[in-house]
Chain A
Amino acid sequence: MKGDSIIHFEGVTKRYGKVVAVDNVSLEVKEGEFFALLGPSGCGKTTLLRMLAGFEVPSEGRIFIDGEDVTLVPPNRRPVNMVFQNYAVFPHMSVADNVAYGLKVDGVHAADRARRVEEALALVKLDGLGGRKPDQLSGGQRQRVALARALVKRPRVLLLDEPLSALDAKLREAMRTELCQLQAQVGITFVMVTHDQDEALALADRCAVMQRGLLQQVASPSDLYEFPASRFVADFIGSVNLLEGQLVVDEPDHAEVAVAGVDQPVFIDHGVTGAAGTTLWLALRPEKIELHKWADAPPHPGDAPPGRNVVAGTITHVAYLGSESLYEVTLADGQRLKALRSNLTRWDQEDFALGETVWLAWHACSPAVLLT
């Protein structure tokens, strides 16, 4: 059933000597979802995937697939198949033989095999190329072979190890869309490992963010972006301004945080459970900061008391990105904030030039309040 748990990691730890690669990870993946393991290199995401495939055995904890304990089951007897980072297409076999290999090993009848290989090749749009050798294919085509080879076995879960990292930018874009369509078409649970946050946000239904072997947060892409659980997640996903401050007012319906360099305490439209004076961090995304001209009256974000969440600064750097511009604004105390602004008219970049003094403003609901 879609939505039921299909993979379950229960307190999984993997040690290599004294190095802890995966540290007590408990995680559930649901049937039919596109799940991404995201994190910087060396965070343990690949080790976790390899444990799911069976290439590594956990030092502690258990792994269940479909409720069955597979912790010690060898890779050739697991209902999962993997698309390797560099595809690992067998160089001495034709495309069709590559795709047929898993079925052949399983003893599937020749006629049935040929039909299923045909179908799998059609699925990844390689029909008619079955007779080719891998060295006659482009990188993108080799990846399709690897996909067909894994999908033809109708696994319960398809594992993808950095599936798009070896492709060039244009192809990566196209392949993203295709992977999504493919997943919807076959309805198989996909688990992908990636270090590329854009890739994870664009493809996955849910992501697990890892750091130094620890699971940091498991959430949908939008929740990861808008409601990060820690400074690490906020910083790793997208771009962010992190403001350190002290809690001064904490009411059920609002809170105020004193931030150095900002004249009045920052107004937040929800309560924070914490003692007065607690140190916390505000994660403010650049696109959530409005830029206003100094010549105009100080702006008012609307949902905060007048004069709150408005601060003056000087533009010290402008990166013109075409559709938008990224401004670096230095506050009176030297603190620098990034603000992203859509270029709504063709003259915008002239309005906000280097060295100009501007107002920065943000809504009371915009900053994410982080305790760690």
Chain B
Amino acid sequence: MRGPLDYLGRWPLRLWLGLVGLFLYLPLVALVAFSFNDSRRTTVWRGFSLTWYRELFADTELLTAFGNSLVIAAASTLISLILGTAAALLLWRFRFAGKAALEAALGLPIVVPEICLGVAFLVFFTAIVPWPGELPWPFSLGAIIIAHTTFSFSFVALVVRARLAGFDGALAEAARDLGASEWRIFRDIMVPHLVPGLVAGALLAFTLSLDDFVITFFTSGPDTITFPIKVYSMVRFSVTPAVNAASTLLILLTAALTALALWLQGADIAKQAA
């Protein structure tokens, strides 16, 4: 008898695994490598250099776009975390008319093609409820934040709902029996149970917002450029290794966030085991 992992010891499987890995990650490796290329052309390797990073950090427009992206991601994550958790709790805790419809509608922003959502937001924010353009930063980003929240809140709600399904109702009753009010039960018993779901939901919301292009493209104005939009416009003018350098930074940021989330959850597990 062989365990499931023992099959990895066979060479054809190892080879296959290697090929899949290569297929998935070679483009990324190339992108990162060429960001250090000492050449204007992105196809020929001419030696190591940090020129493009220097250029990047001198480009105030790009830095502004990056800052916008971070603010939008942080704000939409926070809002969708609150709304998503509330929606999940509502669906878990109560029975009411139209519950099934609401549950189905919750998944809608995930399945509706992004392009449709983008057009919808464009029409909405220009014709129906025009978003005032002259607001001071960061309020000028409001339209994009709202747009991002509409889809990322669905992800948070789904993740939190899945976590809630595993919650033992007797724990809430026990807390109530010991004298806790509804609010204390939520704070002391439910939230600790939900933490892994909240972390996962927030991470999803943040990364989805950070690299969203289609919906942002339809909702951003000339003063509210985000990082993906800026990179796209840079590519349209000329494909320089500066684009590679910018992308490398984005990859680094998301990898760091994922690592942080994993570490947080790992620390939690380690604490429980101690």
Contacts and interface: CB of A to CB of B under 8 A. Distances in A.
Interface of A: 53-55, 74-77, 80-82, 84-86, 88-92, 101-102, 105-106, 133, 135, 146, 149-150, 153
Nearest to A133: B272
B176 A135 contact: no
A90 B171 contact: yes
Contacts of A54: 177
B179 A84 contact: no
A102 B272 contact: no
25 contacts: A75-B173, A76-B176, A76-B180, A80-B177, A82-B173, A82-B174, A82-B177, A84-B173, A85-B170, A88-B168, A90-B174, A90-B175, A91-B193, A92-B192, A92-B193, A92-B272, A101-B175, A102-B179, A105-B175, A105-B180, A106-B179, A133-B272, A146-B174, A149-B178, A150-B177
A88 B171 contact: yes
* Interface of B (DSSP majority class): helix
Interface in B215-274: 272
B177 A75 contact: yes
* Interface size grouping (class) on chain B: 10 to 19
A15 to B, nearest CB: 18
Contacts of B170: 84-86, 88
B70 to A, nearest CB: 32
Task: Give the 9 A-B CB pairs with smallest separation, nearest first.
Answer: A102-B178, A88-B174, A88-B170, A92-B192, A105-B179, A76-B179, A82-B177, A105-B180, A75-B176
Contacts of B188: 101
A153 B178 contact: yes
A144 to B, nearest CB: 15
B49 interface: no
Given A86-B168, A88-B173, 14 more contacts: A55-B173, A74-B176, A75-B176, A76-B177, A82-B173, A85-B170, A86-B170, A88-B174, A90-B189, A91-B193, A102-B179, A105-B184, A146-B174, A150-B177
Contacts of A91: 171, 193
A85 B173 CA distance: 12
Interface of B: 168, 170-171, 173-181, 184, 188-189, 192-193, 272
Nearest to A131: B274
Contacts of A81: 177-178
A79 B170 CA distance: 19
Nearest to B193: A92
A153 to B, nearest CB: 7
A101 B189 CA distance: 11
A345 B58 CA distance: 104
A81 B176 CA distance: 10
A153 B188 CA distance: 18
Nearest to A102: B178
Nearest to B272: A133
Contact of A105 (B171, B178, B272): B178
Contacts of B179: 76-77, 102, 105-106, 153
Nearest to B178: A102
Contacts of A88: 168, 170-171, 173-174
A330 to B, nearest CB: 49
Of listed B175, B179, B181, residue having the most chain A CB within 10 A = B179
Contacts of B171: 88, 90-91
A55 B192 CA distance: 23
Nearest to B172: A88
Interface centre among B174, B176, B178, B180 (most CB of A within 10 A): B178
A76 B171 CA distance: 14
Contacts of B180: 76, 101, 105
B249 to A, nearest CB: 37
Contacts of A102: 178-179
B199 to A, nearest CB: 14
Nearest to B271: A133
Contact of A84 (B174, B184, B193, B272): B174
Contacts of B174: 82, 84, 88-90, 146, 149
A79 to B, nearest CB: 10
B200 to A, nearest CB: 17
Contacts of A89: 174
Nearest to B195: A92
Contacts of B176: 55, 74-76
Contacts of B178: 76, 81, 101-102, 105, 149-150, 153
A75 B188 CA distance: 17
A106 B177 CA distance: 12
Contacts of A153: 178-179
A102 to B, nearest CB: 4
A105 B181 CA distance: 9
B173 A135 contact: no
A89 B170 CA distance: 9
A49 to B, nearest CB: 12
B33 to A, nearest CB: 45
A157 B163 CA distance: 35
A92 B3 CA distance: 33
A341 to B, nearest CB: 46
B229 to A, nearest CB: 42
Contacts of A146: 174
Most buried by B among A80, A88, A102: A88
Contacts of B173: 55, 75, 82, 84, 88
B168 to A, nearest CB: 7
Contacts of B177: 53-54, 75-76, 80-82, 150
Contacts of A75: 173, 176-177
A152 B170 CA distance: 19
A251 B39 CA distance: 121
A98 B180 CA distance: 13
Contacts of A105: 175, 178-180, 184
A76 B175 CA distance: 8
